[in-house]
Amino acid sequence: MNERSVLKVNSRLILLITQCVALFAMLFNPLRAEAAPALQQARWWAEFFNNATLTGVPILTRPEVKIEFDWGLGSPGADVPSDYFSARWTRTEWFDSGTYRFYARSDDGFRLWVGDRPVFNMWEDRQAGWVTRDLYISQGTYEVRAEYYEHEGGARVTLNWDRLAGGAGWQAEYYANQHLAGSPAVRRTDTAIDFGWGGGSPDPAIPNDGFSARWIYSPGFTPGTYRFLTSTDDGVRLWVDGRLLVDAWYNQGLPNTHSGDVYLDQGSHQIKVEYYEDGGEAHAHVWWQRLDSGYVGWQGEYFDNLNLVGGPVLTRDDPELSFDWGTGAPISWMPHDNFSVRWSRNMSFDPGYYRLSVRSDDGVRVWLDDGLIIDKWHPMNNELHYVDGIYLNGMHRLRVEYFERSGYARIQFWASPAGQPQPPTPPQPPLPEPGVVIVDDTDPGFVQGGSATGWGTANEGYGGRLNWTKNNDWLRQNYNWARWYPDLAAGSYEVFVFIPERYATTTNARYWVVSAGAYTLSAVDQAANGGRWVSLGTFWFDGSGKEYVLLCDATDEMRLSWLIAFDAIKWVPR
């Protein structure tokens, strides 16, 4: 048994003893155990490493009550450096069936698993903005694993989660009339109010039209201000502790969103929802979110449907509203098409007249102080729309809603002084010199394969677009790869690869040049060559049309820790 194995066994033994002591205390002092917060009883086991890659033997191990640290320019312990360190926390946790909202913020990288399911994968240098994700978890015991690294500067990491629905859940009553009159035809427990019945109904005992429902639920909350939201077809009312927050008791179709804010103390609070369906489509969606003053940019709420209904699958702090996802998705677990996003923020303006502009592919709506000023809720091909001559002074509330149906996904919003010309379309790259052949990642000679969900695109690099993926340590099954096939006459050519400024953090991108039946490997440090053409050498090409340059995601580095950019390649006659 090596040193690391001994240390791991001893660490687990300490944690087991700690848990046994806690269990003994609960069994023989139940009043004290009941009063203790649940998080205090379930400890994390922490391992700290003197590198940013979680490699080698940890130099510090200890139990932790929670993951909520702000070390500033310091470190977790005397033996841990203040920069270039990493940490891993593990715990075994029982989850009742239900939907859980996970909250995380970190400076720098952070990732989280529940069992074998990834929840967050933000393994990159970043500022400490909040990110949330809702995840349905079936009843059972799971290992929860959190990993973190600090590059340099401030060091900060926080993780928590709340159960949104499940277990006892919503006590539901369904009525065979739309007035909640008489005795309910159906009583049941619903784990969430997230229904799209379409032309149907909740139960065979309930008619397709002219029915109503009442749900009551008393979940626990941590102190803070919460926003409760509804999206229904038709009417809805929502109370929290007897206070009416949403009153939209009238016929309406999707999309719509109504909301109300309330401050809640620590503990359980009763939520009551009433709903009726008149005719046509039937939908009922209710959710809530904690409002956090930590958002410094746009609060982005991302939905896996076209109509902003149900709970968002991702909430994050977007510093600016300027995205070009190409044919991809905002994040790996979202669909590439048929998604929607809501952004909101408060913005301060100096006194004056302004133009508010938005360019979108596909539909978009813009609100200023809850007034709809741009309404283009239909598929578009990167169209520009704006409102000019609006006088603004001081703080104003902005909200932008967007949907992507298919094809390219792009959205940009900005404010400028009234009457200013709109920003020009980005210039195209210069034409190559005579005899020079360039194959970009948008050209027919570019071919890629592997895992479709593992690819990302960005509106930058050569020609205004690049492809990227995260690295593998070695050639795993369904690895990502790309080839560039040039149209060449026979001759000698120097081969150059273009490395973009971003999405290129690997130090060992392995390019294979296949020419005249020979295979030549050249390794390129992409991280050190951003914005440059890098030579792979000079080679003889026979012009057969079967020659190419190959790049794949295997870099011999720690898996899923670095980005590899796939951009343009050029052949220069020599």
- pLDDT-based confidence at residue 111 (cuts at 50, 70, 90): very high
pLDDT digits (tens, 9 = 90+) for 528-545: 888 889 999 999 999 998
| CATH classification number, 437-573, choose in 2.40.10.170, 3.90.1300.10, 3.90.580.10, 2.60.120.260 | 2.60.120.260
State the DSSP string of 8-24: HHHHHHHHHHHHHHHHH
* Cα gap 414→264, rounded to integer Å: 35
Q: Write down the CATH number for the domain with range 173-290.
A: 2.60.120.380
Look at residue 314 and tell me whether its pLDDT is greater than 60.
yes
pLDDT digits (tens, 9 = 90+) for 467-480: 989 888 777 778 89
Beta carbons within 8 Å of 553's beta carbon, 6+ residues apart: 450, 454, 469, 470, 471, 472, 479, 480, 481, 564
* Cα gap 379→475, rounded to integer Å: 40
Token pair recorded at residue 570: 């050029």
- Give the pLDDT score at 207: 95
- pLDDT-based confidence at residue 59 (cuts at 50, 70, 90): very high
* Cα gap 91→43, rounded to integer Å: 7
173-290 and 299-417 agree in CATH topology: yes
pLDDT digits (tens, 9 = 90+) for 414-427: 998 886 555 444 44
- CATH superfamily membership of 3-166: Galactose-binding domain-like (2.60.120.260)
Q: pTM for the whole thing?
A: 0.36
Look at residue 24 and tell me whether its pLDDT is greater than 50.
no
- Give the pLDDT score at 448: 92
- Give the pLDDT score at 26: 38
- Give the pLDDT score at 424: 47
pLDDT digits (tens, 9 = 90+) for 508-533: 999 999 998 888 999 999 988 888 89
Lowest mean pLDDT, pick from 160-169, 218-227, 276-285: 160-169
337, burial (CB in 10 Å: exposed 0-12, middle 13-18, buried 19+): middle
* Cα gap 229→245, rounded to integer Å: 9
Domain boundaries, the chain: 3-166, 173-290, 299-417, 437-573
Alpha-carbon distance values, 201 to 192, 274, 280, 305, 306 (Å): 16, 16, 11, 21, 22
* Cα gap 303→163, rounded to integer Å: 19
C-alpha dihedral sign at 116, 117, 120, 125: positive
Q: Write down the CATH number for the domain with range 299-417.
A: 2.60.120.260
- Give the pLDDT score at 28: 41
Lowest mean pLDDT, pick from 5-9, 146-150, 438-442: 5-9
Question: What strand order describes the sheet that includes 437-439?
Answer: 437-439, 569-573, 491-499, 532-541
Minimal CA–CA distance to 380: which of 401, 410, 357? 410
